[in-house]
């Protein structure tokens, strides 16, 4: 005899893990993620990824773009792609959505030095110093960071984090902050030029107060995502 199982409605939410390399003008630029502080129970005061329930009249990509614009006023996303599905039956309490909730996560990247205006309950947090986070959102951030690191090796995705034009030292800082370890600027240039990812602009940076030879400026050849070397892997030094 088959026992009757309790009925639980199921909702689908979309959540965005949005990264930006912040404080590029300092000695320690850091990869940061956009979070908002929960004002209501459960887990009031903890931090969450932006997003919400998928509406019946929209696809997931349209939904996450809408919610980034409406809820955290973020429109300067240079790259957005679906990453993973989180479907553990108890990942959030039933009281949040009135039943079980399945979540699809998206990776979003904001280029430097964009400074989008944010609501008072929303801010950037360094990925290596996250605040207390709600539900399984910390796991989602870690998953997205791992995927970003891999994609920096075999695609041109750095275009979505870097300024439109940059010195090699700036690009080194962007990659180093995202990867979590120091990157050699000369080696990075060699790899990315060989793969047809970056090219010189023919211009130089303005001289700083200390003088010296102005740095050559570069740009990404494309501002659209593409695989450059599917078997490549950037690795920490030593």
| Contact indicator for 111, 223 with CB cutoff of 8 Å | no
Given this model, what pLDDT does residue 1 score? 46
> For the residues 220-238, what does the mean pLDDT come to?
87
Given this model, what pLDDT does residue 208 score? 62
Q: What is the pLDDT of residues 58-72, one digit of tens each?
A: 999 999 999 999 888
Given this model, what pLDDT does residue 162 score? 97
Say what the pTM is. Answer: 0.92
Alpha carbon distance 202, 208 (integer Å): 19
> For the residues 127-148, what does the mean pLDDT come to?
97
| Contact indicator for 214, 205 with CB cutoff of 8 Å | yes
Tell me: pLDDT of 210 over 80. no
Q: What is the pLDDT of residues 6-56, one digit of tens each?
A: 557 889 999 999 999 998 877 889 999 999 999 988 999 999 999 999 999
Measured CA to CA in angstroms, residue 20 lies from 23, 34, 109, 148 at distances of 10, 8, 6, 11
* pLDDT tier, 131 (very low <50, low <70, confident <90, very high otherwise): very high
Chain mean pLDDT for the chain: 91
Give me the CATH code for the 10-133 domain, please.
3.90.79.10
Given this model, what pLDDT does residue 99 score? 82
């Amino acid at each position: 005899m088959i026992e009757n199982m309790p009925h639980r409605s199921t909702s689908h939410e979309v959540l965005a893990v949005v990264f930006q390399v912040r404080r590029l003008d300092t000695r320690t630029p850091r990869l940061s993620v956009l979070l908002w502080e929960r004002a209501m129970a459960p887990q009031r005061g903890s931090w969450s990824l932006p997003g919400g329930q998928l509406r019946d009249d929209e696809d997931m990509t349209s939904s996450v773009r809408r919610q980034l614009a409406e809820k955290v006023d973020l429109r300067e996303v240079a790259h957005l792609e679906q990453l993973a599905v989180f479907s553990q039956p108890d990942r959030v309490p039933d009281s949040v959505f009135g039943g079980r909730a399945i979540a699809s996560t998206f990776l979003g990247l904001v280029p430097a030095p964009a400074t989008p205006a944010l609501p008072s309950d929303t801010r950037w947090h360094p990925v290596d110093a996250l605040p207390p986070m709600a539900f399984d959102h910390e796991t989602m951030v870690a998953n997205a960071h791992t995927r970003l690191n891999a994609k920096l090796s075999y695609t041109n995705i750095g275009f979505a984090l870097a300024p439109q034009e940059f010195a090699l030292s700036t690009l080194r800082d962007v990659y180093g902050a995202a990867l979590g370890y120091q990157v050699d600027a000369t080696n990075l240039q060699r790899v990315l030029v060989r793969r047809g990812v970056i090219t010189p602009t023919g211009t130089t940076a303005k001289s700083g107060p200390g003088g010296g030879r102005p740095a050559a400026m570069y740009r990404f050849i494309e501002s659209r995502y593409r695989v450059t070397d599917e078997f490549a892997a950037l690795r920490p030094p030593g």
